[in-house]
C-alpha cells in the first residue's frame, strides 16, 4: 500500500508541474485550467464556453504544447462538410499501382482537436464529430479508421451570439465529460495579460509530459477507490436533479424539465477520480463530488420555459441541490 501511495504522490508532482507550466502563460482562469486538466486525466472531452477573447483557444493550445500532444484546430462553419474533418478517399496518381484510392487523413487524426465555435457547424458535420467522440473512430466510405490515443475533443462556443448557429443535439452534449465556463479577467489579470502578450517577446513552453506518461496517469485515475457512502452521495445527487424523483426539491420539480442520467453519474465519478489524483489521494471524497458536480451536470439539466423566464440556470439549480443535501444530512 505504501508503494501505491508513493506512486500517486509522484503522479501529483508531475501533474503540479503541468499546471504550473500552463499557469506561467495562461493568466487567471484557475477553475477552467483545473477542470480542463481533470478532463484530460479522466480521458474525456470538454466544452469550453466563454465570450470572445477570454482565452479559450489559447488555453487548449497551451495544454497540447505542455503535454506534447499532436494538435489540430478546426474552425467550424455552416459550409463545413464531414469529409473536411474526417478525411476522404483520393486517387493516387504518383505511386504504383496508379489510379488507386488512398485515404487522406483529416484534422480529426490528432491527439488533441480544437473544435472552434462548434455550434456553427451543420448537424451533418456534428454527427461525424459525434462518432469520433463516442467511438474514437471515423468511418469513410464504409471503412472504419481508428483515431490516435490519447484522443480529446476540446470544443468552444460563444454563449451570447446565436445568429447562424446550430444548437448541439442532446446526444452530443452528453458526450462531453464536462462543460467549462471561462470568466472575464479581473483588472489585475488584464494587466498581467498585457505584460505577457504585448510587452514581452513570445514565450516558449516546456514539454512537461508526453503521451505515454499521460496514458499512465489515466490508468491511475481508473484505479482510484470510491467508498460506497461516497457513491451513494453521488447517486442521491443525480436523482435529486430529476423532477419526477422523490428526492427532488419543489424548485427542481417546477423548473427542471429533464435531469441527469446514468452517463452523468459515470462522468461525475470519472472527473471526481481525476480530481482526487491531482490532490495526491487514492480515494474519492464527497468534496470531490461537490467540486465536479457543476461542470459535469450543467449541460445535462434542461430547464422549463418558466425556469428560464424566472432567471434560473443549471448552475443555480445545482447549487441549491447541494445545499439541500447538506441540510437534510446528505453527507452520507
CB < 8 Å & 24+ apart, contacts of 226-230: 226/269, 226/272, 226/273, 226/283, 226/284, 227/283, 227/284, 229/332, 230/284, 230/285, 230/286, 230/289, 230/332
Same domain (yes/no): 29, 64: yes
Instruction: Please state, in angstroms and rounded to a whole number, the distance separating the CA atoms of residues 48 and 178.
Output: 9
Q: Which region among 75-84, 91-100, 274-283 has the lowest average model confidence (pLDDT)?
A: 91-100
Question: What local confidence, expressed as pLDDT, does residue 327 receive?
Answer: 60
Asked which of 176, 209, 242 is the last residue of a domain, the reply is 209
Q: Does the residue 271 lie in any domain?
A: yes
| Rounded Cα–Cα distance for residues 166 and 95 (Å) | 42
**One domain, residues 187 and 232:** no
- State whether the Cα torsion 173-177-181-185 is positive or negative: negative
* Per-residue confidence (pLDDT) for residue 21, from 0 to 100: 92
159 and 300 housed in the same domain: no
Q: Provide the domain count of the chain.
A: 2
Backbone angles phi and psi of 76, in degrees to 5:
-75, 130
pLDDT band at 160; cut points 50, 70, 90: low
pLDDT at position 171 is 73
Which residues are CB-neighbours of 309 under 8 A, at least 6 positions away? Answer: none
> Whole-prediction pTM value?
0.87
pLDDT tens digits, residue range 319-331? 999 988 876 554 4
| CATH assignment of the domain containing 266 | 1.10.8.80
- What's the pLDDT score for residue 332? 39
- 308 in the same domain as 274: yes
Q: Distance between CA 38 and CA 271 in Å, rounded?
A: 6
Query: Would the pLDDT of 225 be above 70?
Result: yes
Task: Return mean pLDDT, the chain.
Answer: 85
In a domain, 45, yes or no: yes
Task: Locate all alpha helices (DSSP H) within the chain, ordered by sequence.
Answer: 2-23, 30-42, 56-66, 82-86, 123-135, 170-175, 187-197, 211-222, 228-240, 250-255, 262-278, 286-297, 305-309, 314-327
Q: What is the pLDDT of residues 164-214, one digit of tens each?
A: 677 777 777 888 999 999 888 888 888 887 877 776 666 678 888 888 999
Summarize the confidence of residues 23-47 as an average pLDDT: 90
Find where cell 447538506 sits: 326
Task: Give yes or no: residues 37 and 163 share one domain.
Answer: yes
Do residues 53 and 147 both lie within one domain? Answer: yes
**Would residue 2 count as lying in a domain?**
no
Given 209, 236, 263, the domain boundary residue is: 209
What is the structure's pLDDT at 93?
63
195 and 116 in a single domain? The answer is yes
State whether the Cα torsion 110-111-117-122 is positive or negative. positive
Give yes or no: residues 45 and 153 share one domain: yes
CATH number, domain of 142, equals 3.40.50.300
Q: Is residue 4 assigned to a domain?
A: no
pLDDT band at 130 (very low <50, low <70, confident <90, very high): confident
Sign of the alpha-carbon torsion through 175, 177, 179, 185:
negative
Same domain membership, residue 284 and residue 162: no
Torsional class of 239: left (φ above 0), alpha (ψ -120 to 50), beta (otherwise): alpha
CB-based contact 186:238 (threshold 8 Å): no
Mean pLDDT of all residues in 51-77: 88
- What percent of the chain has pLDDT above 90? 36
How far apart CA 57 and CA 244 sit, in angstroms, is 39
Q: How far apart are CA 130 and CA 267, in angstroms?
A: 17
Query: What residues form DSSP beta bridges with 225?
Result: 283
**What is the domain range of residue 91?**
23-209
| Residues 317 and 182 occupy one common structural domain | no
Phi, psi of 221 (to 5 degrees): -60, -45
For residue 92, pLDDT over 70 is answered with no
Residues 74 and 201 in one domain: yes
Are the C-beta atoms of residues 94 and 104 closer than 8 Å to each other? no
C-alpha–C-alpha distance, residues 111 and 64, integer Å: 9
Does position 10 have pLDDT exceeding 90, yes or no? Answer: no
What cell numbers appear for 141 in the block?
Answer: 466510405
Pair 188, 248 in one domain: no
Amino acid at each position: 500500500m505504501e508503494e501505491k501511495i508513493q506512486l500517486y504522490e509522484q503522479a501529483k508532482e508531475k501533474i503540479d508541474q503541468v499546471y504550473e507550466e500552463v499557469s506561467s502563460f495562461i493568466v487567471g482562469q484557475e477553475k477552467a485550467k483545473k477542470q480542463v486538466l481533470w478532463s484530460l486525466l479522466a480521458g474525456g472531452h470538454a466544452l469550453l464556453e466563454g465570450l470572445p477573447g477570454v482565452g479559450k483557444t489559447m488555453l487548449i493550445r497551451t495544454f497540447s504544447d505542455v503535454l506534447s500532444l499532436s494538435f489540430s484546430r478546426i474552425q467550424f462553419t455552416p459550409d463545413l462538410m464531414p469529409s473536411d474533418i474526417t478525411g476522404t478517399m483520393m486517387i493516387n496518381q504518383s505511386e504504383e499501382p496508379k489510379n488507386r484510392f488512398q485515404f487522406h487523413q483529416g484534422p480529426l487524426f490528432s491527439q488533441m482537436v480544437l473544435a472552434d465555435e462548434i455550434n456553427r457547424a451543420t448537424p451533418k458535420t456534428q454527427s461525424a464529430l459525434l462518432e469520433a467522440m463516442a467511438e474514437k473512430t471515423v468511418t469513410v466510405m464504409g471503412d472504419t479508421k481508428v483515431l490516435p490515443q490519447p484522443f480529446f475533443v476540446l470544443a468552444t462556443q460563444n454563449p451570447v451570439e446565436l445568429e447562424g448557429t446550430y444548437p448541439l443535439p442532446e446526444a452530443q452534449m452528453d458526450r462531453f465529460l464536462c462543460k467549462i465556463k471561462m470568466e472575464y479577467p479581473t483588472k489585475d489579470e488584464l494587466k498581467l495579460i498585457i505584460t505577457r502578450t504585448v510587452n514581452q517577446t513570445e514565450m516558449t513552453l516546456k514539454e512537461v509530459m508526453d503521451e505515454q506518461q499521460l496514458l499512465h496517469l489515466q490508468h491511475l485515475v481508473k484505479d482510484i477507490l470510491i467508498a460506497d457512502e461516497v457513491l451513494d452521495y453521488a447517486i442521491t445527487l443525480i436523482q435529486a436533479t430529476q423532477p419526477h424523483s422523490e428526492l427532488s426539491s419543489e424548485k427542481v420539480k417546477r423548473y427542471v424539465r429533464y435531469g441527469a442520467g446514468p452517463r452523468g453519474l459515470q462522468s461525475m465519478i470519472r472527473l471526481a477520480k481525476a480530481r482526487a489524483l491531482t490532490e495526491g489521494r487514492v480515494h474519492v471524497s464527497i468534496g470531490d463530488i461537490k467540486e465536479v458536480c457543476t461542470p459535469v451536470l450543467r449541460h445535462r439539466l434542461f430547464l422549463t420555459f418558466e425556469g428560464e423566464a424566472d432567471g434560473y440556470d443549471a448552475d443555480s439549480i445545482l447549487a441549491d441541490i447541494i445545499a439541500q443535501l447538506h441540510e437534510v444530512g446528505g453527507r452520507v
